[in-house]
Amino acid sequence: MEFIAFTYVGNFVNDGVMKEVVFDVFDGANRFFEENNLPLRFLYIGKLKLEPGYLINIYSGEEKIKAYPVEVLVEVLHAKLLGEIEEKPDIRMNRIFALTTFPLVSRNPYFDFYEKFLGVQETLVGLRVMLLSMKPFEPPELSELIKTVQRGSASPAERALLREKLELFKNRLLKGVLHEVGHGFDLGHCTNDCVMNPPSSMGEWDSRMLGYCDSCFINLKRALEWSERNRRE
């Protein structure tokens, strides 16, 4: 069995609700792996705590965006994975996956501006670091609906709408997680109805199948079998 260390990083404005989203996606991914007979599981290693200074402000006109520098997160996650491997020598684990509550950015050294990333993959000394920002998947009405319900002023229709939006959010995120896991085992993009087919819009992503097409699934399974064979040898 192959394991991927799983964590999340960031401060949730609506802490309880968003934690529920994270762990439902975590459970959903493991359920997907199990139901599809993939020898792969996420292993929760606790929340990744960063000092406030790691979060940076980017100004775009009058808008201020809080974001995480990709380079910092990759280094911190790499160190975290090394620690987990040392503590758990009996567990086969050379990858780490993190969900972040804020956008991921990297400074362009030539033009001095920040580029945004939805997901990031880096390999350091044979260890793979995978990052995915939750923010782009969040339905625009979600935060206000959560606040309305928490204030106790929500109508039955608003409560029903909140449940609908949360399920949509989880579904989008789970597809994003499976997409990044695919890249983590060297799957490329494809053009089929598949999580490895990058969408041109969030509406297109919503219509995408929750899973891999036959070709991508076979390639993922082969990669896992190859990894298992190398471990035994």
Which helix H or strand E contains 13, and what residues bound it?
none
In a domain, 182, yes or no: no
Mind giving me the DSSP string for 164-214?
Answer: HHHHHHHHHHHHHHHHHHHHHTT----SSSSTTS--SSHHHHHHS-SS--H
Question: How high is the pLDDT of residue 188?
Answer: 94
pTM exceeds 0.85, yes or no: yes
Cα atoms in the Cβ-side hemisphere of radius 13 Å centred on 122: 18
Mind giving me the DSSP string for 92-161?
Answer: -EEEEEEEESS-EEEEETTTTEEEEESEEEEEETTEEEEEEESGGGS-TTHHHHHHHHHHT---HHHHHH
C-alpha 23/C-alpha 170 separation (Å) is 10
Other C-beta atoms lying within 10 Å of the C-beta of residue 57? 8
Q: Is the pLDDT of residue 98 over 80?
A: yes
Q: Are 74 and 124 in contact (CB under 8 A)?
A: yes
Average confidence (pLDDT) over 182-199:
94
Question: How high is the pLDDT of residue 70?
Answer: 81
In a domain, 135, yes or no: yes
- 227 or 77: which leads in pLDDT: 77
Percent over 70 (pLDDT), the chain: 84
Question: How high is the pLDDT of residue 102?
Answer: 78
Q: What is the CATH number of the domain that holds 25?
A: 3.40.390
Other C-beta atoms lying within 10 Å of the C-beta of residue 205? 19
In a domain, 87, yes or no: yes
In a domain, 222, yes or no: no
In a domain, 125, yes or no: yes
Residue 56 lies in domain? 2-171
Q: Is the pLDDT of residue 77 over 80?
A: yes
Q: Are 207 and 184 in contact (CB under 8 A)?
A: no
Q: Lowest mean pLDDT of 17-21, 59-63, 96-100, 103-107, name the range.
A: 59-63
In a domain, 206, yes or no: no
Nearest CA to 121 among 170, 35, 207, 189? Answer: 189
Q: Is the pLDDT of residue 127 over 80?
A: yes
Percent over 90 (pLDDT), the chain: 50
Question: What is the count of structural domains for the chain?
Answer: 1
Report the side by side order of strands in the sheet with 93-100. 40-44, 2-9, 93-100, 127-133, 119-124
In a domain, 38, yes or no: yes
In a domain, 218, yes or no: no
Question: How high is the pLDDT of residue 128?
Answer: 94
Other C-beta atoms lying within 10 Å of the C-beta of residue 31? 11
Q: Is the pLDDT of residue 41 over 80?
A: yes
- 157 or 30: which leads in pLDDT: 30
Question: How high is the pLDDT of residue 97?
Answer: 96
